[in-house]
Chain A
Amino acid sequence: KQEVTQIPAALSVPEGENLVLNCSFTDSAIYNLQWFRQDPGKGLTSLLLIQSSQREQTSGRLNASLDKSSGRSTLYIAASQPGDSATYLCDVGGSQGNLIFGKGTKLSVKP
């Protein structure tokens, strides 16, 4: 059974710092992996989607990498801003459509 773990559960950094969020999964036979952002009281917003054949995806200050063999993905945020404060979740998709989420990392960026 696929298990997805995100460490740390919470992270606080000063504005301007570069940071890395981690996502690990137990079964490397994945279809894709997606990073989301969730603001309080809101739904999830997709940030980056990596297909199993890809190694990384970039969007603006965000870069997500995928290493299936080691069961890991990282989300790199450059030059963090207070507006980046949110909970970040990763979702691992299996070929049968099963979708497993981690419990997220709550990020706080202090001005």
Chain B
Amino acid sequence: DARVTQTPRDKVTEMGQEVTMRCQPILGHNTVFWYRQTMMQGLELLAYFRNRAPLDDSGMPKDRFSAEMPDATLATLKIQPSEPRDSAVYFCASGSGTGGTQHFGDGTRLSIL
């Protein structure tokens, strides 16, 4: 079965450090989403791309977060500098077309000490 792959699975680091999360979307999917999930806020959309172009990143704190797609097989989400309030599970999802089913990775569990 094709699946979305996220690395690392878990990340623990100290505040102020740079964090990079990676996502390999399903081959052939042209839409990639980044979400953050916390107990308090639930699942929030941070950014999404279509055909590697950013379409919406309004959910992302611009001063410290950045999302890119260097190529069709890799999406990255960076936090610099990281803060304890960034602790959450970050999910990547991919899909094809507009309004189609999203396929989720297993997430990166991030803890900022």
Contact = CB atoms under 8 A, between A and B. Distances in A.
Contact of B106 (A43, A89, A98, A100): A43
A88 interface: no
B6 to A, nearest CB: 8
A25 interface: no
B27 interface: no
A93 B42 CA distance: 16
Interface in B22-78: 33, 42-45, 48, 50, 55-56
Interface size class of A (residues with CB under 8 A): 20 to 34
Contacts of A102: 42
A93 B99 CA distance: 7
Interface residues of B, number: 22
A43 B56 contact: no
Interface of A: 31-32, 34, 36, 41-46, 49, 51, 89, 91, 93, 96-104
16 contacts: A32-B99, A34-B101, A41-B106, A42-B106, A43-B4, A43-B91, A43-B107, A44-B43, A44-B102, A44-B104, A46-B102, A46-B103, A96-B56, A97-B55, A97-B98, A99-B48
Interface of B: 4, 33, 42-45, 48, 50, 55-56, 91, 93, 98-107
